[in-house]
Structure 1
Amino acid sequence: MDKNIVNKIDDAVKIKTVLVSVSDKSGLETFVPGLLDINPQVKILSTGGTHGRIKEILGDRAKDCLQQVSDYTGQPETQGGLVKTLDFRIYLGLLTETYNPDHQNDLKRTDSLAIDMVVVNLYPFKETIEKQGITCENARGNIDIGGPTMIRASAKNFIRVASVVNPDDYAGILQSMEKNSGALTLADRFALSQKAFEHTAVYDRTIADYLGEMSVDDMAACYNCRG
């Protein structure tokens, strides 16, 4: 018997744990307090500059609800933020299902949280390559890894998790949560999943097109590569 087959889900899922890691921090000043106003028990996991921005927004409220991802996972961010969210406990929290006892046992075994919402937008690859004088190393450095992985994991598990990739959706999400006693419906989560996969598809297509227009000699010259 396949232990990952899903036979039962909830329409409304209350948002209790949110992971926020964004390049575009616009809208957080209303979205994050809005989440807490609707559900004061919300726990927010965050990374790097996003954590700093949320802490600034929340002030004294932050101490009761905000935690660095590195403190949660027990793994400090690597130098330069190269690895921040690629961790077993994060993906267990994103991919587990409510009515799967094996998944629930894994959460208990690892003392992990089920993550109900991911708020992620990606390194600005398209905006970077459109700048004058950009180098291939500048472009390569703006290829996001952890962000698309979190988006895909949460979007795949739309039966329980909301995958939020666009600040323009913040207001509608808060309205739906307020209407549904702090929960998002299956319709909400599925619509967000559709947007999330479109977002990562466009992102990857932009990277593929950029690399496809370069030869290996062009790339080697960028790094003064010697044979």
Structure 2
Amino acid sequence: MWSCCLQGATARLLAEKGLPVTEVSDYTGFPEMMDGRVKTLHPKVHGGILGRRGQDDAIMEEHQIQPIDMVVVNLYPFAQTVAREGCSLEDAVENIDIGGPTMVRSAAKNHKDVAIVVKSSDYDAIIKEMDANEGSLTLATRFDLAIKPSNTLPPTTA
């Protein structure tokens, strides 16, 4: 059985459709704050993504961190925002995504256990593979998904 840990409009939409949804703030015990600037930057979120199955289980249990098997992120449209004529500095700043890319990098780092989805065009293929594999994705698919963000995110800085 799948469970979803979501935030904001996506959580509300899926809950309205009758799917079991846990708000990120309910899971972490911390509300979304600072006008939405802090939502997913929490050890329970990143521990669930980065936790290595079979290696970090005890520490995850000690801190009530649930393993997260898939991260689906719709990144803020920063490039499109700043390309708009007349884009204000305020609009540009508010479209700098912090939590999304951090979750993307965390999931890519732990692709052995976690799938990362950053492109809605991948949804159908992912669902099809999961349907064919009792809700799972192959390691090869998780690796392919892990390298896709490199085309979306700026390179890591030293």
> Per the shorter chain, which TM-score range?
over 0.9
**2:105 maps to 1:105:** no
In 2, distance between residues paired with 1:47 and 1:74? 13
Counterpart residue number, 1:196: 149
Identity %: 41
Secondary structure in 2 aligned to 1:51?
helix
In 1, distance between residues paired with 2:61 and 2:78? 38
Counterpart residue number, 1:163: 116
Residue deviations 1:153-192 (CA, integer Å, cap 9, x gap): 0011011100000000000001111111111100110000
In 2, distance between residues paired with 1:180 and 1:127? 37
Counterpart residue number, 2:6: 46
Q: Which has the larger Rg?
A: 1
Q: Deviation of residue 79 (structure 1)?
A: 3.5
Q: Greater helix share, 1 or 2?
A: 1
How many residues matched? 156
In 1, distance between residues paired with 2:77 and 2:134? 35
**2:114 maps to 1:154:** no
Q: Which runs of 5+ in 2 are unaligned?
A: none
In 1, distance between residues paired with 2:126 and 2:62? 32
Q: Deviation of residue 199 (structure 1)?
A: 1.5
**2:50 maps to 1:90:** no
Counterpart residue number, 1:67: 22
CA contact (8 A) 1:48 1:81 kept: no
Q: Deviation of residue 197 (structure 1)?
A: 2.5
Which structure has more relative contact order (CA 8 Å, sep 6+)? It is: 1
Residue deviations 1:97-137 (CA, integer Å, cap 9, x gap): 1121xx10011101121000000021111121122221122
Segments of 4+ moved more than 3 angstroms: none
CA contact (8 A) 1:94 1:116 kept: yes
Give the aligned CA root-mean-square deviation in angstroms.
Answer: 1.4
Secondary structure in 2 aligned to 1:200?
coil
Secondary structure in 1 aligned to 2:103?
helix
Question: Which amino acid counterpart does residue 128 of structure 1 have in structure 2?
Answer: T
Superposed, 1:174-189 pairs within 5 Å as 174-189=127-142
Secondary structure in 2 aligned to 1:67?
strand
**2:69 maps to 1:116:** yes
TM-score (norm 2): 0.93
In 2, distance between residues paired with 1:52 and 1:138? 25
Question: Which amino acid counterpart does residue 90 of structure 1 have in structure 2?
Answer: V
In 1, distance between residues paired with 2:5 and 2:54? 24
Counterpart residue number, 1:77: 32
